[in-house]
Structure 1
Amino acid sequence: MNWNLPDESASQYFGAALARAMMDSDPRAGAVIWLQGDLGAGKTFLVRALLRALGETGPVRSPTYTLMEPYELAGRCIWHMDLYRLADPEELEFLGIRELDESDQFLLVEWPERGRDYLPAPDLKLQMQHRDAGRAVAATASSPRGQQLLDRLRVEQEASGTGAPG
């Protein structure tokens, strides 16, 4: 499924809709979401909008140097990872990546291709790219949980008319 997000406001709404989809679709299930795209495609912006929608009031920085940042929001553990500066995928073992692959946690991963076989398989892939003044997002479900999130996200977006599929 593809979305056209013509401006910053639509991108923020999309992040909030994704947050609602994550929390509403199955309150006990987490998910692994891969965010892919070139530098400046809006991956961190989307994560920031998602975290704000879940109640984060502090700074939301890209974990480019720390590689991952944990958040406890809405009674759930959410991990934001940015693997852009990952020197070797094996480093993920030292960060405890295996412990993060629990069914009730959310793992949001920027630059997942740099983690190769060390990352858990994605439930949902979001491919982001620049489009005029906004962004385009292509979402692909890779598991039943991912399809559940995608279906919920589609309902959210269609109900609002904001950032509609396109």
Structure 2
Amino acid sequence: MMFDSNYDLKDESETLRFAESMSSHLHPGMNLYLKGELGAGKTTFVRGLLRGLGYQDKVKSPTYTLVESYSFLKFTIYHFDLYRFKSDHEWDDAGFREYFNETSICLIEWPEKAGGLLPEPDISIELSHESFGRHLHLIGFTPIGSECLKTII
């Protein structure tokens, strides 16, 4: 039951608005993969999701810390940036496996760097640079991910 959709976003503000509109359809226990080259807008997308949930403080990329957490009333969002991820031991030593549970939403930039350590995504978000701005490709891999994407169209 895979759901696939594409959007063209002309600038950063459209990326933020799209992510904000998507935020209200997320549910605890979901895992979202964020893919794209450096500077494609992955962290901007995360910033939009968080703003849509009411978070107003600065959102920084966890490039060096690997993960940043954001606590909300009903769940915690963990924002991973695995660009500098080195080994499976790093994953286990940090206890990251425990972050993937029914009371959290995990947003993972550069998921391909973790190989088979990550659980299946509910949604894959791929951003790419285009002459007009950014292209956004969304795929819902699970029933809950597909349902989320259908509601934001």
| Pairwise same-fold verdict (TM > 0.5) | yes
Q: Aligned ranges for residues 138-157 of structure 1 at < 5 Å?
A: 138-154=137-153
After superposition, the Cα gap between the structure-2 partners of 1:12 and 1:125, relative to the gap in structure 1 and judged at 3 Å, is same
Does residue 21 of the first structure (1) align with residue 5 of the second (2)? no
Distance apart, 1:133 and its partner CA: 4.5
Please name the residue that 2:69 is paired with: 70
Q: d(CA) in 1 for partners of 2:152 and 2:76?
A: 20
**Structure 1 unaligned residues grouped into runs of 5+:** 155-166
Query: Does the CA contact (< 8 Å) of 1:34 and 1:110 recur in 2?
Result: yes
Q: Aligned ranges for residues 1-166 of structure 1 at < 5 Å?
A: 1-22=5-26, 29-154=28-153
* Percentage identity across paired residues of the two chains: 38
Further displaced range: 38-47 or 71-80: 71-80
Q: d(CA) in 2 for partners of 1:6 and 1:74?
A: 33
Q: d(CA) in 2 for partners of 1:15 and 1:81?
A: 17
Give the aligned residue type for 1:143.
Answer: T
Runs of 4+ in 1 over 2 A off after TM superposition: none
After superposition, the Cα gap between the structure-2 partners of 1:102 and 1:75, relative to the gap in structure 1 and judged at 3 Å, is same
TM-score for the superposition, normalised by structure 1: 0.84
Give the aligned residue type for 2:51.
Answer: R
Q: d(CA) in 1 for partners of 2:70 and 2:144?
A: 21
Further displaced range: 137-146 or 49-58: 49-58
Distance apart, 1:81 and its partner CA: 0.3
- Provide the aligned length of Structure 1 versus Structure 2: 149
Query: Does the CA contact (< 8 Å) of 1:90 and 1:118 recur in 2?
Result: no
Task: State the secondary structure of the residue aligned to 2:152.
Answer: helix
TM-score for the superposition, normalised by structure 2: 0.91
Query: Does the CA contact (< 8 Å) of 2:88 and 2:117 recur in 1?
Result: yes
Query: Does the CA contact (< 8 Å) of 2:69 and 2:77 recur in 1?
Result: yes
Please name the residue that 1:163 is paired with: none
**Structure 2 unaligned residues grouped into runs of 5+:** none
Q: d(CA) in 1 for partners of 2:102 and 2:74?
A: 14
Query: Does the CA contact (< 8 Å) of 2:31 and 2:123 recur in 1?
Result: yes
Task: State the secondary structure of the residue aligned to 2:88.
Answer: coil
After superposition, the Cα gap between the structure-2 partners of 1:101 and 1:3, relative to the gap in structure 1 and judged at 3 Å, is same
Task: State the secondary structure of the residue aligned to 1:21.
Answer: coil
Q: d(CA) in 2 for partners of 1:89 and 1:5?
A: 35
